Amino acid sequence: MSALICGSLAYDTIMVFHDKFKNHILPEQVHILNVCFLVPDLRREFGGCAGNIAYNLNMLGGKAIAMGTVGIDFAPYGEWLDRCGINRKHIKAIDHAYTAQAYITTDMDDNQITAFHPGAMNFAHHNKVGDVQGVSVGIVAPDGRQGMVEHAAQFAEAGIPFIFDPGQGLPMFDGDELLRFMDQATWAAFNDYEFQLLQQRTGKSAQQLAETVKGLIVTHGGKGSSIYHGKQCIDVPVAKPAALADPTGCGDAYRAGLLHGLMQGMDWETTGRVAALMGAIKIEHHGTQNHRFEREEFDARFKESFEYAL
Protein backbone atom coordinates (compact mmCIF):
# COMPACT_ATOMS: atom_id res chain seq x y z
CA MET A 1 0.00 0.00 0.00
CA SER A 2 1.21 3.48 -0.86
CA ALA A 3 0.16 6.94 0.30
CA LEU A 4 0.12 9.76 -2.24
CA ILE A 5 1.18 13.01 -0.56
CA CYS A 6 -0.03 16.00 -2.60
CA GLY A 7 1.44 19.23 -1.33
CA SER A 8 4.26 21.73 -1.40
CA LEU A 9 8.01 21.21 -1.46
CA ALA A 10 9.94 24.24 -0.31
CA TYR A 11 13.16 25.65 1.04
CA ASP A 12 12.87 27.25 4.47
CA THR A 13 15.45 29.94 5.21
CA ILE A 14 15.28 30.50 8.96
CA MET A 15 16.97 33.48 10.63
CA VAL A 16 17.16 34.50 14.29
CA PHE A 17 17.16 38.14 15.39
CA HIS A 18 18.85 38.44 18.79
CA ASP A 19 16.51 41.16 20.02
CA LYS A 20 12.80 41.95 19.93
CA PHE A 21 10.99 43.38 16.94
CA LYS A 22 9.02 45.71 19.23
CA ASN A 23 12.25 47.50 20.16
CA HIS A 24 12.82 48.48 16.54
CA ILE A 25 9.35 49.07 15.12
CA LEU A 26 7.75 52.36 16.10
CA PRO A 27 3.95 51.90 16.14
CA GLU A 28 3.29 55.48 15.11
CA GLN A 29 5.62 55.11 12.11
CA VAL A 30 4.43 51.82 10.59
CA HIS A 31 3.06 53.68 7.55
CA ILE A 32 6.68 54.47 6.59
CA LEU A 33 8.25 51.26 7.87
CA ASN A 34 11.87 50.80 6.81
CA VAL A 35 13.81 48.46 9.08
CA CYS A 36 16.75 46.08 8.83
CA PHE A 37 17.35 43.24 11.30
CA LEU A 38 20.84 41.80 11.80
CA VAL A 39 20.44 38.00 11.89
CA PRO A 40 23.66 36.21 12.97
CA ASP A 41 21.98 32.78 12.95
CA LEU A 42 20.78 31.36 9.63
CA ARG A 43 19.74 27.89 8.53
CA ARG A 44 18.44 26.64 5.20
CA GLU A 45 16.18 23.65 5.62
CA PHE A 46 14.30 21.31 3.33
CA GLY A 47 10.57 21.74 3.91
CA GLY A 48 7.12 21.96 2.39
CA CYS A 49 4.21 19.81 3.50
CA ALA A 50 4.61 17.04 0.93
CA GLY A 51 8.29 16.62 1.69
CA ASN A 52 7.79 16.74 5.45
CA ILE A 53 4.89 14.29 5.53
CA ALA A 54 6.63 11.83 3.21
CA TYR A 55 9.82 12.02 5.28
CA ASN A 56 7.96 11.18 8.48
CA LEU A 57 5.75 8.47 6.99
CA ASN A 58 8.76 6.67 5.51
CA MET A 59 10.42 6.55 8.94
CA LEU A 60 7.34 4.74 10.25
CA GLY A 61 7.75 2.16 7.51
CA GLY A 62 5.07 3.49 5.18
CA LYS A 63 5.43 3.85 1.43
CA ALA A 64 5.09 7.55 0.69
CA ILE A 65 4.90 9.01 -2.80
CA ALA A 66 5.45 12.76 -2.84
CA MET A 67 3.61 14.74 -5.52
CA GLY A 68 4.43 18.40 -6.09
CA THR A 69 5.98 20.93 -8.43
CA VAL A 70 9.47 22.35 -7.96
CA GLY A 71 11.80 24.75 -9.70
CA ILE A 72 15.20 25.07 -11.31
CA ASP A 73 16.96 25.12 -7.92
CA PHE A 74 15.60 21.80 -6.65
CA ALA A 75 18.67 19.59 -7.17
CA PRO A 76 19.99 19.65 -3.54
CA TYR A 77 16.53 18.83 -2.19
CA GLY A 78 16.09 16.06 -4.75
CA GLU A 79 19.38 14.48 -3.69
CA TRP A 80 18.24 14.61 -0.08
CA LEU A 81 14.96 12.84 -0.92
CA ASP A 82 16.92 10.16 -2.75
CA ARG A 83 19.15 9.60 0.29
CA CYS A 84 16.03 9.28 2.44
CA GLY A 85 14.50 6.74 0.07
CA ILE A 86 11.49 8.91 -0.77
CA ASN A 87 9.78 8.21 -4.09
CA ARG A 88 9.92 11.42 -6.16
CA LYS A 89 8.85 10.08 -9.53
CA HIS A 90 5.82 12.37 -9.41
CA ILE A 91 7.64 15.55 -8.40
CA LYS A 92 7.56 17.70 -11.52
CA ALA A 93 10.14 20.37 -12.31
CA ILE A 94 8.95 23.69 -13.75
CA ASP A 95 11.79 25.08 -15.82
CA HIS A 96 10.87 28.76 -15.54
CA ALA A 97 10.29 29.02 -11.79
CA TYR A 98 12.05 28.64 -8.46
CA THR A 99 11.06 26.10 -5.83
CA ALA A 100 8.71 27.59 -3.23
CA GLN A 101 10.66 29.42 -0.54
CA ALA A 102 9.89 30.74 2.93
CA TYR A 103 12.09 33.38 4.57
CA ILE A 104 11.40 33.37 8.31
CA THR A 105 12.89 35.76 10.86
CA THR A 106 12.24 34.98 14.53
CA ASP A 107 12.92 37.34 17.43
CA MET A 108 13.58 36.64 21.12
CA ASP A 109 9.83 36.74 21.87
CA ASP A 110 9.28 33.97 19.28
CA ASN A 111 7.48 36.46 17.05
CA GLN A 112 8.00 35.77 13.36
CA ILE A 113 8.08 37.81 10.18
CA THR A 114 7.76 35.56 7.14
CA ALA A 115 7.93 36.20 3.41
CA PHE A 116 6.74 33.31 1.21
CA HIS A 117 7.40 32.93 -2.50
CA PRO A 118 5.15 30.20 -4.00
CA GLY A 119 7.12 29.87 -7.23
CA ALA A 120 6.67 26.46 -8.85
CA MET A 121 4.01 25.52 -6.29
CA ASN A 122 1.51 27.54 -8.35
CA PHE A 123 1.77 24.88 -11.05
CA ALA A 124 0.74 21.99 -8.79
CA HIS A 125 -2.31 21.31 -10.98
CA HIS A 126 0.05 20.07 -13.72
CA ASN A 127 0.27 16.83 -11.71
CA LYS A 128 -2.62 14.38 -11.86
CA VAL A 129 -3.61 11.82 -9.20
CA GLY A 130 -4.52 9.36 -11.96
CA ASP A 131 -0.90 9.21 -13.12
CA VAL A 132 0.09 7.30 -9.97
CA GLN A 133 -0.55 3.56 -9.63
CA GLY A 134 -1.04 1.49 -6.47
CA VAL A 135 -2.29 4.29 -4.22
CA SER A 136 -4.39 3.15 -1.25
CA VAL A 137 -4.73 6.47 0.57
CA GLY A 138 -3.89 10.11 -0.03
CA ILE A 139 -3.71 13.57 1.46
CA VAL A 140 -4.36 17.00 -0.02
CA ALA A 141 -2.00 19.25 1.95
CA PRO A 142 -1.25 22.97 1.41
CA ASP A 143 -0.24 23.56 -2.20
CA GLY A 144 -1.13 25.73 -5.16
CA ARG A 145 -4.80 26.68 -5.03
CA GLN A 146 -5.84 25.05 -8.30
CA GLY A 147 -3.78 21.98 -7.51
CA MET A 148 -5.62 21.46 -4.22
CA VAL A 149 -8.99 21.81 -5.95
CA GLU A 150 -8.15 19.40 -8.76
CA HIS A 151 -6.34 16.80 -6.64
CA ALA A 152 -9.27 16.55 -4.21
CA ALA A 153 -11.67 16.04 -7.10
CA GLN A 154 -9.35 13.46 -8.68
CA PHE A 155 -9.02 11.47 -5.43
CA ALA A 156 -12.82 11.46 -5.05
CA GLU A 157 -13.40 10.46 -8.68
CA ALA A 158 -10.89 7.61 -8.38
CA GLY A 159 -12.49 6.38 -5.14
CA ILE A 160 -9.22 6.81 -3.22
CA PRO A 161 -9.81 7.79 0.44
CA PHE A 162 -7.92 10.94 1.40
CA ILE A 163 -7.32 13.47 4.15
CA PHE A 164 -8.19 17.10 3.46
CA ASP A 165 -5.54 19.17 5.26
CA PRO A 166 -5.66 22.78 4.02
CA GLY A 167 -3.35 24.19 6.72
CA GLN A 168 -2.16 27.69 5.92
CA GLY A 169 -3.90 27.41 2.54
CA LEU A 170 -7.37 27.47 4.12
CA PRO A 171 -7.87 31.26 3.74
CA MET A 172 -7.67 30.84 -0.07
CA PHE A 173 -11.11 29.20 -0.10
CA ASP A 174 -14.61 30.46 0.64
CA GLY A 175 -17.27 28.57 2.57
CA ASP A 176 -18.80 26.76 -0.41
CA GLU A 177 -15.41 25.61 -1.63
CA LEU A 178 -14.48 24.33 1.83
CA LEU A 179 -17.74 22.40 2.10
CA ARG A 180 -17.03 20.83 -1.29
CA PHE A 181 -13.63 19.67 -0.03
CA MET A 182 -15.28 18.21 3.08
CA ASP A 183 -17.84 16.35 0.97
CA GLN A 184 -15.10 14.88 -1.22
CA ALA A 185 -12.72 13.94 1.60
CA THR A 186 -12.82 10.81 3.74
CA TRP A 187 -11.09 12.52 6.69
CA ALA A 188 -10.11 16.10 7.49
CA ALA A 189 -7.43 17.61 9.74
CA PHE A 190 -7.00 21.13 11.14
CA ASN A 191 -5.33 22.96 13.99
CA ASP A 192 -7.69 24.70 16.40
CA TYR A 193 -7.38 28.12 14.73
CA GLU A 194 -8.02 26.66 11.27
CA PHE A 195 -11.01 24.75 12.61
CA GLN A 196 -12.54 27.94 14.02
CA LEU A 197 -11.98 29.65 10.68
CA LEU A 198 -13.59 26.68 8.89
CA GLN A 199 -16.69 26.99 11.08
CA GLN A 200 -16.84 30.73 10.51
CA ARG A 201 -16.54 30.48 6.73
CA THR A 202 -18.96 27.57 6.29
CA GLY A 203 -21.49 28.59 8.97
CA LYS A 204 -21.44 24.99 10.21
CA SER A 205 -20.95 23.75 13.76
CA ALA A 206 -18.22 21.34 14.77
CA GLN A 207 -20.72 18.46 14.91
CA GLN A 208 -22.20 19.31 11.52
CA LEU A 209 -18.74 19.35 9.94
CA ALA A 210 -17.79 16.11 11.68
CA GLU A 211 -20.81 14.40 10.11
CA THR A 212 -19.48 15.05 6.59
CA VAL A 213 -16.35 12.88 7.04
CA LYS A 214 -15.42 9.56 8.65
CA GLY A 215 -12.94 11.27 10.95
CA LEU A 216 -12.27 14.92 11.77
CA ILE A 217 -9.05 15.69 13.61
CA VAL A 218 -8.35 18.95 15.44
CA THR A 219 -4.96 19.56 17.05
CA HIS A 220 -4.52 21.85 20.07
CA GLY A 221 -0.74 22.21 20.28
CA GLY A 222 0.53 21.30 23.74
CA LYS A 223 -3.01 20.42 24.87
CA GLY A 224 -3.33 17.34 22.68
CA SER A 225 -5.89 16.75 19.96
CA SER A 226 -9.52 15.82 19.40
CA ILE A 227 -10.83 13.27 16.93
CA TYR A 228 -14.49 13.43 15.96
CA HIS A 229 -15.71 10.04 14.79
CA GLY A 230 -19.43 9.49 14.33
CA LYS A 231 -21.03 10.98 17.41
CA GLN A 232 -17.87 10.45 19.46
CA CYS A 233 -15.21 12.99 20.33
CA ILE A 234 -12.00 11.23 21.33
CA ASP A 235 -9.50 13.24 23.38
CA VAL A 236 -5.92 12.31 22.49
CA PRO A 237 -3.17 13.23 24.99
CA VAL A 238 0.20 14.62 24.02
CA ALA A 239 3.37 12.58 24.15
CA LYS A 240 5.88 14.35 26.39
CA PRO A 241 8.86 15.66 24.40
CA ALA A 242 12.36 15.58 25.82
CA ALA A 243 12.93 19.18 24.67
CA LEU A 244 11.09 22.03 22.99
CA ALA A 245 13.41 23.02 20.15
CA ASP A 246 11.27 24.01 17.15
CA PRO A 247 7.53 23.57 16.50
CA THR A 248 7.89 24.07 12.73
CA GLY A 249 6.74 20.92 10.93
CA CYS A 250 5.06 19.29 13.93
CA GLY A 251 1.70 19.35 12.15
CA ASP A 252 3.19 17.53 9.17
CA ALA A 253 4.76 14.89 11.43
CA TYR A 254 1.36 14.46 13.11
CA ARG A 255 -0.31 13.98 9.69
CA ALA A 256 2.20 11.27 8.83
CA GLY A 257 1.18 9.48 12.03
CA LEU A 258 -2.47 9.73 11.00
CA LEU A 259 -1.73 8.25 7.59
CA HIS A 260 0.25 5.42 9.14
CA GLY A 261 -2.56 4.54 11.53
CA LEU A 262 -5.16 4.63 8.75
CA MET A 263 -3.03 2.46 6.47
CA GLN A 264 -2.50 -0.07 9.27
CA GLY A 265 -6.18 -0.19 10.24
CA MET A 266 -5.54 1.08 13.79
CA ASP A 267 -8.37 2.40 15.93
CA TRP A 268 -8.64 6.16 16.36
CA GLU A 269 -7.31 6.14 19.93
CA THR A 270 -4.06 4.49 18.79
CA THR A 271 -3.84 6.40 15.51
CA GLY A 272 -4.07 9.69 17.41
CA ARG A 273 -1.35 8.60 19.82
CA VAL A 274 0.99 7.56 17.00
CA ALA A 275 0.43 11.00 15.49
CA ALA A 276 1.01 12.71 18.84
CA LEU A 277 4.31 10.92 19.36
CA MET A 278 5.45 11.88 15.86
CA GLY A 279 4.79 15.51 16.73
CA ALA A 280 6.71 15.19 20.01
CA ILE A 281 9.74 13.68 18.31
CA LYS A 282 9.77 16.44 15.71
CA ILE A 283 9.54 19.30 18.23
CA GLU A 284 12.74 18.07 19.87
CA HIS A 285 14.76 19.01 16.76
CA HIS A 286 15.33 22.15 14.72
CA GLY A 287 14.09 22.04 11.15
CA THR A 288 11.41 19.80 9.69
CA GLN A 289 13.50 16.86 8.41
CA ASN A 290 16.41 16.60 10.86
CA HIS A 291 14.94 14.09 13.33
CA ARG A 292 15.59 10.39 12.89
CA PHE A 293 14.60 7.14 14.61
CA GLU A 294 14.50 3.41 14.02
CA ARG A 295 11.10 1.74 14.21
CA GLU A 296 12.09 -0.25 17.29
CA GLU A 297 12.92 3.02 19.09
CA PHE A 298 9.55 4.47 18.16
CA ASP A 299 7.65 1.41 19.42
CA ALA A 300 9.54 1.48 22.72
CA ARG A 301 8.84 5.15 23.20
CA PHE A 302 5.18 4.66 22.36
CA LYS A 303 4.86 2.05 25.11
CA GLU A 304 6.67 4.32 27.55
CA SER A 305 4.44 7.29 26.68
CA PHE A 306 1.04 5.58 26.59
CA GLU A 307 1.56 2.43 28.68
CA TYR A 308 0.58 -0.10 26.01
CA ALA A 309 2.34 -1.58 23.02
CA LEU A 310 1.59 -0.98 19.37
3 touches 263 (CB < 8 A): yes
294 pLDDT higher than 90: yes
Q: What is the per-residue pLDDT for 248?
A: 87
Structure confidence by residue, pLDDT tens digits, 38-62: 999 999 999 999 999 999 999 999 9
Section 106-131 average pLDDT: 94
| Tens-place pLDDT, residues 99-109 | 999 999 989 99
Which pLDDT score, from 0 to 100, does residue 111 have? 87
Based on C-alpha coordinates, what's the Rg of the chain? 19
Q: What is the pLDDT of residues 159-213, one digit of tens each?
A: 999 999 999 999 999 999 999 999 999 999 999 999 999 999 999 999 999 999 9
pLDDT above 90 for 112:
no
Query: Which band of pLDDT confidence, cut at 50, 70 and 90, is reported for residue 7?
Result: very high
Contact 74, 50 (CB under 8 A): no
pLDDT at residue 279, rounded to an integer:
98
What are the extents of the domains in the chain?
Answer: 2-21+39-305
Name residues whose C-beta falls within 8 Å of residue 81's C-beta, 6 or more positions apart in sequence.
Answer: 51, 54, 66, 88, 91
pTM for the predicted model, two decimal places: 0.95
What integer pLDDT is reported at residue 246 of this predicted model? 87
pLDDT above 90 covers a percentage of the chain that reads 93
User: Does domain 2-21+39-305 correspond to CATH entry 3.40.1190.20?
Assistant: yes
The contacts of residue 275 (CB under 8 Å, 6+ apart) are 217, 225, 236, 253, 254, 255, 256, 257, 258, 261
How far apart CA 267 and CA 254 sit, in angstroms, is 16
**Model confidence band, residue 110 (pLDDT cutoffs 50, 70, 90):** confident
> Alpha-carbon distance 22 to 119, whole Å?
31
Band of pLDDT at residue 1, cut at 50, 70 and 90: confident
Given pLDDT bands bounded at 50, 70 and 90, which one contains residue 304?
Answer: very high
Confidence of residue 72 (pLDDT cuts 50, 70, 90): very high
